[in-house]
């Protein structure tokens, strides 16, 4: 396919301040600003219409914590009764001692800085998130806890749904083609459960492709072709 | 001393050959720095300016954070090699004042309530100056904010208008800025149809100000179109990072 054709198949990109619809036909959704009857985009993105709701899916965004999200965090430092955790968001999260799976931690006896050291990678769920306080993480749950091996990669948080695909289709394509398991956090962090540099390079290429071309039709086919070494 | 500098040629054009309402050639590129979250570069005539954005991130020290919105920190700085004679790299009174003015202008564009308790850092680095650096810097900073993915109430563009030898002119260069009779930098957001920055230095009549305002809005609309094109180019499929 020529580059000209590929460009024609792009979903149109909107920029902040660009009119995207009006209230006669739509309800304003994510990343839109309503001024009188018209909606304007607030970020660079692509338009998605779901029924009457009109969203602008940002091409570059920050992770906004929501309750129930699986996130991959990096422990920053211990604090009075827990740890502060970097979750790739403007907000630092807090992991309280009570949400750590080990049963008995006594502050008087145990050095919590040794239980979870700074820089440790963890997978957890967002237990509480509000605009008034730091998001709270829990490590209590199946498959949650400290990650002992693997490789950490990043993607823009708004591209995570595209990387996972409809009902996990894209993720299963990647896992099938590479033979390794991936843990994808909603905050744009990915753990590749492998240390094979060839596989990691392959997955990194796929992530870069998703990041770059998520707004162009036929991404799953192109990812499949990239993984299998075919020409798309 | 006392030598009169003429700001117009015999044919009525300006010293650089422009018409009264003509902008200098503008080149804009978005996403030029890979280490910053958002960045933009602008060349407007001989002006060369880089803007970079970091954040939103946790506001430290914590006492500076606001519970209901994020704060903006802006640094406008002229590089020591940006002027014909070496400029002291320490922030001057003018730079401190311009940093504050640009922060106020940008604050009205950023949807600050979405990121309470955080801070956004904006750096505007003037690499080469030729008059109108605050306007070109603001135009670039807005693009750097959009490139960083920060939600904005539109893209504002800025341009200076002024008066030289009794004529209202657009996009003043260094010579016109120094020897002209008035200088009025304006930033305009076409989405909100609002002015986010307006300063004035010199004397103009009411009619001249009205004429200057109308010329400035037309000029900023042209710059706004270039901003939109540069931003779309940044995110389009054909662009490849080298």
Q: Do A40 and B154 touch (CB under 8 A)?
A: yes
Contact B89, B20 (CB under 8 A): no
**Tell me: the pLDDT tens digits for B124-163?**
999 999 999 999 999 999 999 999 999 999 999 999 999 9
Q: Do B57 and A16 touch (CB under 8 A)?
A: no
How many Cβ atoms are within 10 Å of B167's Cβ, its own excluded? 15
Tell me if chain B has a CB within 8 Å of the CB of A51.
Answer: no
In chain B, the N- to C-terminal Cα span, in Å, equals: 51
Which of A144-153, A205-214, B50-59, B135-144 has the weakest average pLDDT? A205-214
B84, pLDDT greater than 60: yes
Q: Which residues of A touch B232 (CB under 8 A)?
A: 13, 15
A87: tokens are 């979750």
Residue B2, pLDDT score? 55
Question: What CATH code is assigned to B26-235?
Answer: 3.30.230.70
Rounded to two decimals, the ipTM of the complex is 0.90
Q: Find the CB nearest A43 among B116, B149, B191.
A: B149
Contact B164, B153 (CB under 8 A): no
Domain ranges of chain B: 26-235
For residue B51, what are the β-bridge partners?
A: B40, B124
Residue B217, pLDDT score? 96
Contact A194, A175 (CB under 8 A): no
SS3 state of residue A102: coil
DSSP conformational letter for B5:
P
B239, pLDDT greater than 50: no
Averaged confidence pLDDT in chain B: 93
**Tell me: the pLDDT tens digits for B199-217?**
999 999 999 999 999 999 9
**Tell me: the pLDDT tens digits for A84-128?**
999 999 989 999 988 888 767 766 666 777 788 889 999 999 999
Q: Which domains does chain A have, with CATH numbers?
A: 3-58 (2.40.50.100), 70-146 (2.40.50.140), 151-228 (3.30.1370.10)
**Tell me: the pLDDT tens digits for A127-181?**
998 877 889 999 998 889 999 889 999 998 888 988 898 888 889 989 988 899 9
* pLDDT tier for residue A1 given thresholds of 50, 70 and 90: very low
A231, pLDDT greater than 60: no
């Amino acid at each position: 396919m020529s580059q000209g054709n590929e460009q024609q198949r792009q979903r149109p990109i909107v920029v902040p301040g660009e009119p995207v619809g009006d209230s006669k036909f739509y309800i304003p959704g994510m990343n839109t600003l309503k001024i009188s009857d018209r909606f304007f985009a607030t970020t660079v993105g692509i338009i998605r219409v779901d029924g009457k709701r009109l969203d602008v899916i940002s091409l570059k965004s920050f992770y906004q914590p929501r309750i129930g999200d699986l996130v991959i965090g990096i422990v920053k430092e211990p604090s009075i009764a827990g740890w502060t955790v970097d979750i790739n968001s403007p907000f630092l999260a807090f992991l309280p001692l009570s949400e750590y799976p080990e049963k008995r931690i006594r502050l008087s006896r145990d050095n919590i800085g040794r239980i979870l050291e700074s820089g440790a990678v963890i997978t957890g769920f967002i237990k509480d998130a509000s605009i008034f306080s730091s998001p709270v993480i829990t490590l209590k749950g199946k498959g949650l806890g400290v990650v002992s091996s693997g490789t950490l990669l990043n993607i823009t948080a708004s591209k995570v749904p595209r990387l996972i695909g409809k009902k996990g289709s894209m993720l299963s394509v990647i896992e099938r083609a590479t033979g390794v398991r991936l843990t994808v956090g909603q905050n744009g962090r990915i753990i590749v459960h492998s240390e094979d540099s060839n596989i990691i390079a392959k997955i990194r290429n796929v992530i870069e492709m998703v990041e770059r071309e998520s707004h162009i039709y036929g991404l799953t086919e192109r990812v499949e072709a990239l993984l299998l070494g075919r020409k798309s | 001393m006392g030598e009169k500098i003429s700001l117009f040629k015999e044919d009525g054009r300006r010293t650089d050959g422009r018409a009264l309402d003509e902008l200098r050639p503008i080149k804009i590129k978005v996403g030029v720095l890979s280490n910053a979250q958002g960045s933009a570069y602008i060349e407007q005539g001989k002006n060369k300016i880089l803007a970079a954005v970091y954040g939103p991130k946790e506001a430290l020290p914590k006492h500076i954070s606001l519970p209901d919105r994020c704060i903006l920190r802006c640094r406008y700085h002229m590089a020591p090699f940006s002027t014909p004679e070496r400029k002291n790299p320490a922030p001057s009174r003018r730079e401190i004042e311009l940093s504050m003015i640009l922060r106020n202008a940008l604050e009205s564009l950023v949807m600050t309530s979405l990121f309470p308790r955080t801070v956004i850092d904006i750096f505007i680095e003037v690499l080469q100056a030729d008059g109108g650096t605050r306007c070109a810097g603001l135009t670039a900073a807005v693009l750097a904010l959009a490139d960083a993915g920060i939600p904005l109430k539109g893209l504002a563009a800025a341009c200076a208008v002024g008066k030289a030898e009794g004529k209202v002119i657009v996009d003043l260069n260094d010579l016109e800025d120094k020897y002209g009779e008035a200088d009025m930098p304006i930033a305009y957001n076409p989405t909100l149809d609002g002015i986010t920055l307006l300063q004035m230095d010199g004397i103009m009549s009411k009619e001249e100000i009205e004429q200057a305002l109308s010329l400035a809005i037309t000029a900023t609309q042209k710059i706004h179109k270039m901003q939109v094109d540069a931003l779309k180019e940044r995110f389009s499929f054909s662009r490849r990072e080298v």
